Structure 1
Amino acid sequence: RYFLVALLAALTLWVGVKFLDEARDLTKPDIGSPTINVSGEGKVFAKPDIGSVSFSVISEGGPGPEVAQQDAAQKMESIVLFLKNSGVDEKDIKTVSYDISPLYSTENKKRELTGYEVRQTLALKVRDLAKLGALITGATELGANSIGGVSFEIDDSEALKLEARAKAIADAKAKARVLSKNLGVRLGEIISFSEYGGPVPFYGYASGFGMGGDIEKSYIPPIPTGQNEIVSNVNITFEIR
């Protein structure tokens, strides 16, 4: 009987110790494999092959909106016809806004309706950049009295994006090799990868176009295109050993 009591006591003690060990294992934080995180950047430069620009026709008239609408419509029709005759494809000509706003007089501290302003804005894509300056001049002579939003882009930039990404990855890997050497560790598998970035459009400048028909002697402005920058930024996490 004494032996049985001693055996039960020993068994109880063993179960208690085992339970405490397992409890400690459950509460022990799992820090996983050690890692390092590095970033890399890749840039590619290329000459753009598409230009974008917007033309606005702004007309005023009264007492109703019809006069301003008719004037704006006639000018815009002439501009669109000129663009098409200059080789611009119809798919690259798009109306992006059409607004009618009342005009008021505040003479003698009395607010009176005097007419309406009509503003129609056209967005244009130019695939022959050599024509861009002449198109801006021609549209202005035909009544476009606001020019803006000149920018340049690359029509097919996928290959350039891939090139920029490859450069960014190579940059990150080179940094990882240097860092692992400084830390005295060896690089293992790639744990995670992320990328951000993309083409950076180049914005030109077009100004000096006040009211339609004011350009002296059909002056054609120079529109330098510069180069576009395609950027890729990556983050790579490596396991280290």
Structure 2
Amino acid sequence: MMTENFSKEITQRSKFIRIAFVTALAMLSFFLLAETVLIVRKTVSYSAQATNTIVVTGNGKAYAVPDTATVSYTITKVEPKVSDAQTDVTKIENKALDVLKKYGVTNKDVRTTNYSIAPNFIYRPCVKGYCYPTKKDGYKVSQTVSLKIHKLSIVGSVVGALGNIGVSNLSGPNFVVDDPTSIKNEARAEAIGKAKTQAEKLAKLLGVHIVRIVNYNETYYANHPAVYGVRPGAETGTSTKLNIPAGQNEYTVNVSITYEIR
């Protein structure tokens, strides 16, 4: 009886081992099949890439009258104590905000781009080989503000008024189109049209056919001249209205298109 039971146990173990082996073999076969399919797909994908191509370029330009002016200014004060310098800067900034409010510039179009506090040092030149040590001379506080003016007829008045209240490094106005999307699209359409025409002519000369676009690159450039370093009325203290023409801006799009050919 014992021998019979032992024989059955051996048979069951052998059966289990065979099942496990077959299962492992099936899993290995599935894995190898999947890898083969992946390799084939990669090969097909690689072979489908264009090998015969031409590259053409085109540029387009569009022009627009600006509808917005950007201006920036800095207020800087030096005092023995940081708090005193901050107070002086704040007083001038409050005057600047009053000016902007007077001319209808809204809060959403006024933004502080930098606020800094740093020790201020006096540097003296060297005399006969002796260099005097630097001397600390209080603290310097600076606040830089940028703003947008959507009503171009008031730009000269705003710039003049800001110059009268003691701001420094007044830069601008820089005349721009606030939303240049449609102008950019116009320039892009011209650039692509030129590139297509060039591709068709080149394909005809080469005796080939254009199949499809395989690559596209684009660069965009907007030329809007600015007036820098304006400080009107700073000496007289009088209100100054400047005549600052906005002119016309140029927007350029350059494209590069790669075509597959046959």
Which one-letter code corresponds to 2:78 in the other structure?
E
Instruction: Identify the match of residue 89 of structure 2 among 69, 72, 75.
Output: 72
Which residue of structure 1 lines up, in the alignment, with residue 234 of structure 2? 213
Aligned residue for 1:180, secondary structure, equals helix
Equivalenced residues, count = 210
Q: Residue deviations 1:157-216, cap 9 Å, x none?
A: 222222112111110111112212322x14322232413122414131133528x83256
Equivalent residue runs for 1:35-54 within 5 Å: 35-54=53-72
Identity of aligned residues (%): 32
Which residue of structure 2 lines up, in the alignment, with residue 13 of structure 1? none
- Residue 198 of structure 1 pairs with residue 216 of structure 2: no
- Residue 152 of structure 1 pairs with residue 175 of structure 2: yes
Unaligned 5+ segments in structure 1 are: 1-28
Instruction: Report if the CA contact (8 A) 2:119-2:138 is conserved.
Output: yes
Which residue of structure 2 lines up, in the alignment, with residue 11 of structure 1? none
Residue 30 of structure 1: how far off its partner (Å):
9.4
TM-score w.r.t. the length of structure 2 is: 0.71
Which one-letter code corresponds to 2:152 in the other structure?
L
**Farther off after superposition, 101-110 or 148-157:** 101-110
Instruction: Identify the match of residue 114 of structure 2 among 77, 97, 121.
Output: 97
Aligned residue for 2:235, secondary structure, equals coil
Equivalent residue runs for 1:113-132 within 5 Å: 113-132=136-155
1-side partners of 2:122 and 2:235: how far apart? 27
Instruction: Report if the CA contact (8 A) 1:42-1:233 is conserved.
Output: yes
Which residue of structure 1 lines up, in the alignment, with residue 187 of structure 2? 164
Which residue of structure 1 lines up, in the alignment, with residue 31 of structure 2? none
Instruction: Report if the CA contact (8 A) 1:195-1:232 is conserved.
Output: no
Which residue of structure 1 lines up, in the alignment, with residue 161 of structure 2? 138
Instruction: Report if the CA contact (8 A) 2:164-2:237 is conserved.
Output: no
Instruction: Report if the CA contact (8 A) 2:70-2:174 is conserved.
Output: yes
Q: Residue deviations 1:197-239, cap 9 Å, x none?
A: 22414131133528x8325643333322222222222222233
Instruction: Report if the CA contact (8 A) 1:45-1:228 is conserved.
Output: yes
Residue 82 of structure 1: how far off its partner (Å):
1.3
Instruction: Report if the CA contact (8 A) 1:204-1:224 is conserved.
Output: no
**Which of these two proteins has the greater Rg computed from alpha carbons?**
2
Residues 43 and 105 (structure 1), Cα distance of their counterparts in 2 relative to 1, 3 Å cut = closer
Which residue of structure 1 lines up, in the alignment, with residue 211 of structure 2? 189
TM-score w.r.t. the length of structure 1 is: 0.77
Which residue of structure 2 lines up, in the alignment, with residue 224 of structure 1? 245
Residue 33 of structure 1: how far off its partner (Å):
5.4
Which one-letter code corresponds to 1:237 in the other structure?
T
